[in-house]
Amino acid sequence: MEGLWVQGVLLIFLLIFLLPCPVGSQTSSIPAQRWWTDPNEAPSQHQAARATQEQKVDDAQEGLPPQPRCVRCCPPPEKRFYPHYQPVPQINMTILKGEKGDRGERGMQGKFGKTGVAGSRGHAGPKGQKGSMGAPGERCKSHYAAFSVGRKKPLHSNDYYQTLIFDTEFVNLYEHFNMFTGKFYCYIPGIYYFSLNVHTWNQKETYLHVMHNGAEVVILYTQVSDRSIMQSQSVMLELKEQDEVWVRLYKGERENAIFSDEYDTYITFSGHLINLQPAADIQGTTVLHDTISDRPQPLPARYFDTKTTEPISFFLTGLEELLAWQPNSNDDFNVSAVPLAKRQPPLHSSRPRTLVCHDMRGGYLEDRFIQGSATRNPYVFYHWRYIDIFVYFSHHTVTIPPVVWTNAAHRNSVPVLGTFITEWTDGEKLCEAFLAGGEEAYGAVAEQLARIAQHYRFDGWLINIENTLSAAAVGNLPLFLQDLTARVHSAVPGGLVIWYDSVLKDGTLRWQNELNNANRMFFDACDGLFTNYNWKEEQLERTQRLAGPRLNDVYVGVDVFGRGDVVGAGFDTYKSLRLIRQYGLSAAIFAPGWVYEHLGKENFLQNENRFWGLLAEYLPTHSICTLPLTTSFSLGMGTSTFMDGKDEESGPWYDLSAQDIQPLYPEHQGMLSTSCCLQDAWCGGSSLQLQGTIPSGEERMPAPPKIFLTMLYKLEGPQPDDFTVALEVTTWDSEMCFEGNPTSLPEPNGRYHPRFLPAPPPSLAKLLAACHRGSHGWTSRCYELELQDCSLRDLSLIVSRQQPSLQETSFTCLLGEVRVLDTASVAASPPQVHSVMASQLWWQEGPEPEQLSLSLTLRWSFPPGRARWFRVLSQGARCRLGQTAPQVLGLAQGCLFRAVGLSVPQPAPGQSCRLELLVEPVLRDELPVDPERWGRLVLVYSAPGSGTSSDGH
């Protein structure tokens, strides 16, 4: 946990599930650099090997999502119907009798009579129905919203509208303004005041709109002038919940721009609530009525599985699809909801990097199911601490990484790149169309690629042109790479464009296996070069010399399948890594799925740990640099689903988006081994298993130093009471996450043993339940540590013997959960899930008589960045009174979820039924959220032509 800045009180949660255990990571050493020279060109086997990679996926493959179960829930508020008033004809009675006389005086009151005998007690009447829920009362807490943001970069018009993105945050109360999308999201209905200030550009127009839900509200406009001026606009708007407000630059029919620079902030956008508007439903419950329909499935096949309507990931084929791409609401499931975590050391620190290029059977296999599948023994990657960049590769023209990979990588602070590839004769035609066509043509392709990366929130592109090019096309290729790199850098913070070693400056296709003068112009135009795999040592020497200060931007290719003349592959891949590191170069490991494809599924986890363990000496590691830090060590797959130590549902599952932050999995001289345990877990599908031996005469054995966890443990073995488990924290004497070469970091200046807390103090009452929640054999521990003016380095687990022994003592420990929390942030009240809505309803016949199958898309509102994910639950569907316990339907990474194949009862004629769905936010610190703050959707459904029945539905 290097470089975590901490000031004040730090809470470290150790949830321990009884077994002895140490955890951590090791610092990788890199051999001294050597300098060599000698050219050699070797043709690549890269394309020939692709024939084995392009197998089509059978539609009937395993991996279809599990079917949710139906449960019952509570009744709706009772509805009463009253007859309409009918006027009665009036008759004039004056024609039948005389006129009415005056009223007489009131007489004297008479005497009271004797009290009568009390009657017998009547029969008890039938019990009345449960009354409807009352309206929510007014909250005591006042609500407010305010933001003020700025931009230090200029912006010029393009041939499409551009949302103004801001890079400076002055005030952003409750994060209602999303810095990533550039939009203000209304969570508190009311009247708001907005102001926009810009600096115009001389000799250019300034033409912007303040937008409200896609509609132009007010304009900020200045004509062309010889001088630049400050210009402002303001407006008051009445906003409803989920409304959006942003600033849009008009598309470029003529020169249109706003000015700013990196030294001063010329552009600002501010807004605040001035009058709270009472909301009819602050508590976040939505009631929706729907009539059962047999209408056809309304969802496009590109974004949804045609059999189940499960959301799926997709790719683009050809130039026409790329240029026609536009974002739409159907592909929202493909947008990553996990921001790239901060890391230590930074990606661009002065050390070699490691890139992994994932290529498996053509891609888009079980990983295409965005909400997971019931795949048994799937392929997972979890050694994130060892790598710096992840590339998802396929042979489709535009490979958009499946969002499950982006979510998992970002959670572990690893950026993700897609692939743009052209091949063979079709590739020549495609390149001729956009490269030989000139600046407008290649600029359009570059713009679309940058927009796609920005929209789906991955981090850039690997560019792979594996076909010959005409003189005109190859002449524009460096310009295309420069344009694409600039656009990606502008659109995606920290974005990357990497070029694959293929065509040369004369347009011929010949792999060089090195950086040389025939391909250097492409390297100079982007962020890095990924070389081919058939290199020799003399080529590494020449590459080192030619790369100069950009040594770390050359990623020397290593094909784990060993196709062609390679130094080492398979379990000998370390031989290639060792040689590459001797020259200080970065490495690109291609197709590490060899472990899964070549050695089989059954012992995959053991073989995977062996493969990466052999490489560990040559892989510099990185750590996560942010709080809160929490993990249950789940790999994003399992044979069962565990919740609070209990096996909630048996059966295989696979969802990389649910993968937790991963530690290192090192082995130390046979004394300690770490592995994944699928048989027992605290939450998710797996725990971290540590097995080792305490030598004779020793009392303790600390875990390796680099462990980035929060903790929960379980000791196992014949005599678990002989051991104790404790924490140790080391710190750097640093005020922030270090940004230099990790080899120059100072030695830690302190070791701390946190104070054990039997129960937190009253000010941290929210943590009481968490400190005593160990169950099913797991032990929970809370600790408190006060630090001042220092930053965290390592969190270590120490396993000790109670008494010294002359014999070696073996132990096993499962780590189920570890959390590191800043207590200052724990006191903040969690926000409310708002505005749960349902759309894209699809009714089908159910699996049993008198049952229906329902699929629908849920959307809701929640402040960005506050939730780790959301747990979607069902309280079942019912047509009569009654209630059942909530059951989990699945996890959502963002504010939307596709519920598929819900079994619900079919209403009888004249009857209506109801289905209640819940959205529980799981916060980043994983502290429990009160159910009153969950989101709720009540769907009342009936058969066509039926009304609401007397049972209150």
Domains of the chain: 10-25+629-826 (2.60.120.260), 146-276 (2.60.120.40), 305-325+352-373+385-620 (3.20.20.80), 834-942 (2.60.40.10)
Residue 577 pLDDT? 98
Residue 713 pLDDT? 67
Q: For residue 666, is pLDDT > 60?
A: yes
> How confident is residue 791, by pLDDT bands cut at 50, 70 and 90?
low
**Buried b or exposed e, range 93-127, using 16+ CB within 10 angstroms:** eeeeeeeeeeeeeeeeeeeeeeeeeeeeeeeeeee
Question: Between residues 796 and 347, which one has the greater pLDDT?
Answer: 347
The pTM of the full predicted model, rounded to 2 decimals, is 0.70
Cα end-to-end span (Å), the chain: 54
Q: What values do phi and psi take at 316, rounded to 5?
A: -120, 140
**Which DSSP string do the residues of 322-355 spell out, in sequence order?**
HHH----GGGGGGS--SPPPPEES-TTSSS--EE
Query: Residue 861: which of 939, 941, 766, 937 has the closest Cα?
Result: 937
* Least confident segment among 283-292, 332-341, 783-792: 783-792
- pLDDT by residue (tens digit) across 578-624? 999 999 999 999 999 999 999 999 899 999 999 999 999 999 999 88
Whether 14 contacts 713, CB under 8 Å: yes
- Average pLDDT across the chain, whole number: 79
Residue 883 pLDDT? 65
Whether 850 contacts 907, CB under 8 Å: no
Q: For residue 16, is pLDDT > 60?
A: no
Whether 556 contacts 587, CB under 8 Å: yes
Residue 830 pLDDT? 81
CA–CA distance, 419 with 397 (Å, rounded to integer): 8
Residue 657 pLDDT? 96
Q: Is the dihedral of CA 606, 611, 614, 619 positive or negative?
A: negative
CA–CA distance, 391 with 527 (Å, rounded to integer): 14
> How confident is residue 124, by pLDDT bands cut at 50, 70 and 90?
low
Question: Between residues 126 and 817, which one has the greater pLDDT?
Answer: 817
- pLDDT by residue (tens digit) across 55-91? 433 443 444 444 444 433 333 444 333 333 333 333 3
β-bridge pairing 215-222 and 834-845: unpaired
Task: Indicate the helix (H) or strand (E) that contains 894.
Answer: none
Residue 667 pLDDT? 62
Whether 200 contacts 225, CB under 8 Å: yes
Query: Residue 853: which of 865, 862, 866, 843 has the closest Cα?
Result: 843
CA–CA distance, 632 with 714 (Å, rounded to integer): 13
- pLDDT by residue (tens digit) across 409-463? 999 999 999 999 999 999 999 999 999 989 999 999 999 999 999 999 999 999 9
CA–CA distance, 785 with 730 (Å, rounded to integer): 12
Give residue for tokens 């709109």.
Answer: 209
CA–CA distance, 487 with 479 (Å, rounded to integer): 12
Beta-bridge partner residues of 244: 185
3 state DSSP class of 291: strand
- pLDDT by residue (tens digit) across 262-291? 888 999 999 999 987 644 344 567 777 788
Question: Between residues 943 and 711, which one has the greater pLDDT?
Answer: 943
Q: For residue 948, is pLDDT > 60?
A: no
Q: For residue 524, is pLDDT > 80?
A: yes
CA–CA distance, 670 with 496 (Å, rounded to integer): 40
* Least confident segment among 138-142, 335-339, 343-347, 812-816: 138-142
pLDDT winner (highest mean) among 113-122, 496-505, 670-679: 496-505
Residue 3 pLDDT? 35
CA–CA distance, 890 with 271 (Å, rounded to integer): 37
Residue 71 pLDDT? 37
Question: What token pair was written down for 735?
Answer: 């005020």
Question: Between residues 896 and 23, which one has the greater pLDDT?
Answer: 896
Residue 314 pLDDT? 97
Residue 479 pLDDT? 98
Q: For residue 743, is pLDDT > 70?
A: no
* Least confident segment among 224-228, 365-369, 554-558: 224-228
Residue 781 pLDDT? 74
Whether 817 contacts 721, CB under 8 Å: no
Residue 187 pLDDT? 77
Our measurement of the distance from residue 226's CA atom to the centroid of its chain's CA atoms, rounded to an integer in Å, reads 47
Residue 115 pLDDT? 55
Residue 806 pLDDT? 74
Q: For residue 142, is pLDDT > 80?
A: no
% of the chain at pLDDT higher than 70: 71
Residues 6+ away with beta carbon under 8 Å from 797: 21, 22, 23, 24, 690, 702, 703, 707, 711, 713, 725, 726, 727, 728, 813, 815
CA–CA distance, 737 with 753 (Å, rounded to integer): 22
Residue 750 pLDDT? 47
Number of Cβ within a 10 Å radius of residue 226: 6
CA–CA distance, 864 with 187 (Å, rounded to integer): 11
Residue 2 pLDDT? 36
Query: Residue 172: which of 272, 275, 277 has the closest Cα?
Result: 272
Q: Which long-range contacts (CB under 8 A, 24 or more apart) does 160-168 make?
A: 160/251, 161/248, 161/249, 161/250, 161/251, 162/248, 162/249, 162/251, 163/246, 163/247, 163/248, 163/249, 164/208, 164/246, 164/247, 164/248, 164/249, 164/267, 164/269, 166/267, 166/269, 168/265
